Amino acid sequence: MNTINNAFVSFIIFLVLFFSMAVSAVSWFGSDEEIIWEGAVNNYFKYADLDDSAFGKNDHPINFDEEDLINVFSALVYTETGILGGEAVVSVFSYSQIRILAEYLSKGLSEAKPNQDIIYSIGGSSKKVIVLTKKSYTTGSVFYKDNKLNILIGEHNYMRSEAMEKELDRSGRGEIKYNFSYGKRTKKSNKFKESLLSIAGVNQKVVNGKLRQDWIEIDVKIAAEAYLASKEEEEDSGASSARILKIEAAKLAKQRREMRSEMARLRRDMNKKDKAVSSTRSIEDRITTLDELLVKELISKEEYAAKRKEILNDI
């Protein structure tokens, strides 16, 4: 009886976890979805139907240079207040995520149909506390319309629940496939509330007078050029700072050389003075000794005069 009760309780826990975390032990997608790329569990790019046809069809297919997309995604940054205070500039996507996004969106958009969006999920690591990190996922959908690349963010740094995964995955691998949100044209997502730092060609869309932080519009050409220009400016500033530091270092080195030279000169002068004093003292001592010898009548007056003249000649 206890065995049956325990099994029933485990089954109830399974259902609660399943629905509360909105996950599924198996992946499912509509029949019209096609895989662009699929990597590890919950890492993929796929085609999907437009999430709302009321906005009209997309301007697909469209070709983008992969390097331009890398620059564009690198330009998406915001400021974040740290736990200990102070602000830091944070990228919406990590470096590895940017490389993946650029590669597979470039490929996917070149073959996408007007009635298709691209949905994606890519893994990453997010800071949970000051130094510890936790595995996470970032998801969304992408499409091109009215000369703008549109990115809807569904989940941003969505933390994995490893305890739940182990409970639901009896294989022991601890990885299951999640059902994520990919963002919607008609509904604002609260999963990304950051305001991006301003850069030419990048805007967060305003819908019905309200800012959609989760919806990013990008003029790829302008944004890529603006990002490269900002990096060149940073490099020029860094080079200028390096030149200033080099000049200051050279000045300091010159001052140190001059100081060492002056100290050496002072030491030489002191040595000369010491020698002169020592020499003068030596002559005085010799004459004093000579005087004592004369008083004690140990030498004659003639010897005294001759020796005194000899000592004075040494000066």
Q: pLDDT tens digit string along 8-57? A: 444 454 444 444 444 333 333 444 459 999 998 899 999 999 988 888 99
Q: Where are the alpha helices (DSSP H) in the chain?
A: 2-20, 66-74, 95-111, 162-168, 220-295, 301-313
**Helix (H) or strand (E) segment spanning residue 184:** none
Residue 217 vs residue 310, higher pLDDT? 217
pTM tops 0.85: no
Decide if pLDDT at 261 tops 70: yes
265 token code pair: 């000169």
Q: Give the domain ranges of the chain.
A: 27-218, 263-313
Residue pair 199/191 in contact by the 8 Å Cβ criterion: no
Beta strand pairing call for 177-178 and 148-159: unpaired
In the chain, the largest separation of any two C-alpha atoms, in whole Å, equals 140
How far lies 215's CA from each of 108, 138, 154, 200, 207, in Å?
20, 14, 9, 16, 10
φ and ψ of 80, to 5 deg: -135, 135
| Cβ atoms of 164 and 172 closer than 8 Å | no
pLDDT value of position 290: 74
The DSSP output letter for 55 is G
What number is the average pLDDT over the span 254-275?
73
Residue 236, classed as helix, strand or coil, is: helix
Residue 44: predicted pLDDT: 96
- Quickly state the pLDDT bin for 156 (edges 50, 70, 90): very high
Alpha carbon distance 261, 267 (integer Å): 10
> pLDDT, tens digit, for every residue of 197-222?
999 999 999 998 999 999 999 999 99
Give Cα 311 to chain centroid, integer Å.
81
d(CA 159, CA 123): 10
Residue 3 has pLDDT above 50, yes or no: no
Helix 220-295, helix 66-74: angle, nearest 10: 60
Query: Can you read off the two tokens belonging to residue 304?
Result: 């005294």
